[in-house]
Amino acid sequence: MTLSLPRLQSQAWPGLIRHYWDYLPVSDSTPTITLNEGNTPLVSAPAIAEAIGKSCQVFVKLDGLNPTGSFKDRGMTVAVSKAKEKGAEALICASTGNTSASAAAYAAKGKMRAYVLLPDGYVAKGKMAQALMHGAEAIAIRGNFDEALAIVCEIAAKYPVALVNSVNPYRLCGQKTAAFEIVDALGDAPDWLCIPVGNAGNISAYWMGFSHYRNTGKSSRSPQMFGFEAEGSAAIALNRAIANPSTVATAIRIGNPASWHKATAARDLSGGDIGSVTDAEILAAYRLLAREEGIFCEPASAASVAGLLKYRDRVPTGATIVCVLTGNGLKDPDTAVKHCETDIHSGIPANLSAVAKVMGF
Ligand SMILES: *Cc1c(COP(=O)(O)O)cnc(C)c1O
């Protein structure tokens, strides 16, 4: 049976711009450039609740199930649609990998060119593959993310290319929709929202989203916002910019977050905190999610769970907590293979008894 388009559209999720149209800065003159992003699962995570050791409910928001494998798609669909509306023909961004993967995909969908500036040697393999596969012009600089961002900001001011980093306010508008989805799923805001912090755009966007919903009566309250940086790039937690940020979690390897003040406002207005977690804590949470919850996220994403576990003594009894898992584990296979703590049984003869022996029979 062939389905007519109107029927398909009435059944399927149309992407976050069409779904949350009234909450976004769009109009009939905005061309919707969408890969039907958003509407990601909110999954119960009892093993994390158990590790906290008191009665509470923990959910994880699987934003790595967006079309390019990270939450960046939420902001990109709005930023690229608005750039197209204004007649832009090319996009530019600095990226630790996921922004460039997303920009490259939406540029392809919108028939625009994409230029992506990457810190040489610190971009996970899957993300690089995506940018190149979608046809972006990838430019690796001998410098870190913060330096790349400074360059693209200047280029966008000088040349006719649209900047799609999270300093573009349309990015944060789109990313607000993840907070909407959490409230729509739970019926109200959670008590705590735990989230990784890199450039600090996403924590700011969630806070805007929760505030927006509360102000329009869609929820009765807002959550306390708990952001977590990696210890080697913990600018906000330490209250000073870091010149040479370092962490295994490359997506949050950022030493001078662009949305610093928005993030500290979210922290202070919500009665939350921005702390840091070590690489060892990040990797332990990364493995816990994979082995006990069946969820493969990228290392940066696991910072939200690592932080929650670190703050377990502060969790109010009976609390409902959402941890945001920002990106898909398949993005960074090298880190997974290096830190999974299990090994392949290799060189086994191709016969039943040899295989059964390895299995312990
Ligand atoms: C971009 C990104 C982050 C950090 O988000 P910010 O908005 O920069 O704080 C965290 N995790 C993943 C997987 C990302 O791609």
Please name the residue whose Cα sits nearest to atom 13 of ligand 1: 327
Q: Is the beta carbon of 98 within 6 A of some atom in ligand 1? A: yes
Q: What is the pLDDT of residues 250-293, one digit of tens each?
A: 999 999 999 999 999 999 999 999 999 999 999 999 999 999 99
Q: How far is the CA of 361 from the centre of ligand 1 (A)?
A: 45
Measured in Å, residue 300 CA sits from the centre of ligand 1 at 7
Residue 299 Cβ < 6 Å to ligand 1? no
Measured between its terminal Cα atoms, the distance across the chain in Å is 50
Is the pTM for the entire model greater than 0.85? yes
Ligand 1 binding pocket includes 165 (Cβ within 6 Å): no
Query: Are the C-beta atoms of 199 and 242 separated by less than 8 Å?
Result: no
Look at the alpha carbons of 152, 82, 102, 207 in this order and tell me if their dihedral is positive or negative: positive
Task: Round to whole Å and give the CA distance between 165 and 42.
Answer: 26
Task: Dig out the tokens for 300 from the structure.
Answer: 């940066």
Q: Phi first, then psi: what are they for 60, rounded to 5°?
A: -115, 135
Q: Which atom of ligand 1 is nearest to the CA of 166?
A: 7
The string of pLDDT tens digits covering residues 296-348 is 999 999 999 999 999 999 999 999 999 999 999 999 999 999 999 998 999 99
Q: Whose CA is nearest to atom 4 of ligand 1?
A: 198
